[in-house]
Amino acid sequence: MEYLSINGRDEVSESVITKEMKDAIGVESDPVVYQIEEGAILRFAEAIGDTNPIFNDKNEASKTKYGGIVAPPTFLRSIAHVKAPEPKVQVKSPYPANVDGGSEWEYFEPIKVGDTITATSYLADINERKGGKFGSMLIMVRETKYINQHGTVAALQRTTGISYQPPE
Amino acid sequence: MEQTYFEDVEEGSSLPTVRKDPTSQQLVKYAGASGDFYQIHYDVGFAKNNGLPDIILHGALKNAFLGQLMTDYAGHEGTLKKLSVQYRAMDIPGTPVFAKGTVKKKYVKDGENFVECEIWLENHEGKSTTPGYGIVTLPNK
């Protein structure tokens, strides 16, 4: 467990991970298709304050190996907010509070203006932690696969969601 | 943008630091551009009712800052291959944050020049709030 520093030892107690949760691992969502628009990339680059010409300037970007504007590394995270790939099996945590634990990205192809990206996601892993500094936690890792119009996996994203029972 | 070449990379060396000065306005812009409208990022009352000291930076915005660290380092001829971040502590707007990194390892694999970096976001008190790692490939001279 490396997401948060935990001081307490695990207590032996009943697992909150149900059979339904375990069965949800690996079940792929229906695909969601996104068009990559120039305006969305420009707005995203402006919002994160990244002035790199490959994310902002059509003329400058056309002189690079990309041949045009490409998306900043974390841009794909934003397209799924409009309509996210919905899990076929909803996994409901018994804990009330949620935090974003982190993200891991792997990149294979640049995301270019005009691309059509098909995203699917699935629950990759589920773990729990009892009686730590942050109370009891359920840790869910969800993987999203982004495939471009050429059928190539352009990027993989693994996000760690932590739900927890705040200590009394 | 200055290009870094594989031959010039030394293990243990530092990446050029990227300073960011996030404001409440930037958090609103990021909410709009990313579609993440969770109110802890722009509504002080909502944030305080949720036990937070103030509005806090989106984890994904910090991820973007560390992404910039790596794409600045890779330059236009290099390529970002992997980016991993863990949100360990909160950051609030109004004070600068610094995206930093050091080169851990360089190697050639399948004809490509890989550079692995330890990266982190540091707050104005010098504390790392968001550790991670990044891997780029760099061109030869």
What was the ipTM of the complex prediction?
0.96
CATH topology of domain B6-137: Thiol Ester Dehydrase; Chain A (3.10.129)
How much is the average pLDDT of B82-107? 97
Q: Which of B90, B44, B34, B50 is nearest to A72 (CA)?
A: B34
Q: Does B112 reach chain A within 8 Å, measured CB to CB?
A: no
CB contact under 8 Å between B77 and A53, yes or no, is no
Coil, strand, or helix at residue A75? helix
Residues of B in contact with A72 (CB under 8 A): 64, 67-68, 71
What pLDDT score does A130 carry?
81
What pLDDT score does A91 carry?
84
Give the range among A127-136, A145-154, B17-26, B127-136 with minimum mean pLDDT. A127-136
Does residue B135 register a pLDDT over 70? Answer: yes
Q: Does B133 reach chain A within 8 Å, measured CB to CB?
A: no
What pLDDT score does A168 carry?
58
Quote the CA–CA distance of A99 and A84 in Å, as a whole number: 18
Q: Does B94 reach chain A within 8 Å, measured CB to CB?
A: no
* Three-state SS sequence of B37-83: CCHHHCCHHHHHHCCCCCCCCCHHHHHHHHHHHHHHHHCCCCEEEEE
What pLDDT score does B15 carry?
98
Tell me the per-residue pLDDT of A34-85, one tens digit each, with 9 for 90 and over. 999 999 999 999 999 999 999 999 999 999 999 999 999 999 988 876 677 7
CB contact under 8 Å between B85 and A64, yes or no, is no
Closest Cα of chain A to B121: distance in Å?
13
Quote the CA–CA distance of A157 and A101 in Å, as a whole number: 13
Q: What are the residue boundaries of the structural domains of chain B, listed by start?
A: 6-137
Does residue A129 register a pLDDT over 70? Answer: yes
Q: Which residue of A has its CA nearest to B129?
A: A4
| Domains of chain A listed by start with CATH number | 19-36+85-165 (3.10.129.10)
Does residue A3 register a pLDDT over 60? Answer: no
Does residue B12 register a pLDDT over 50? Answer: yes
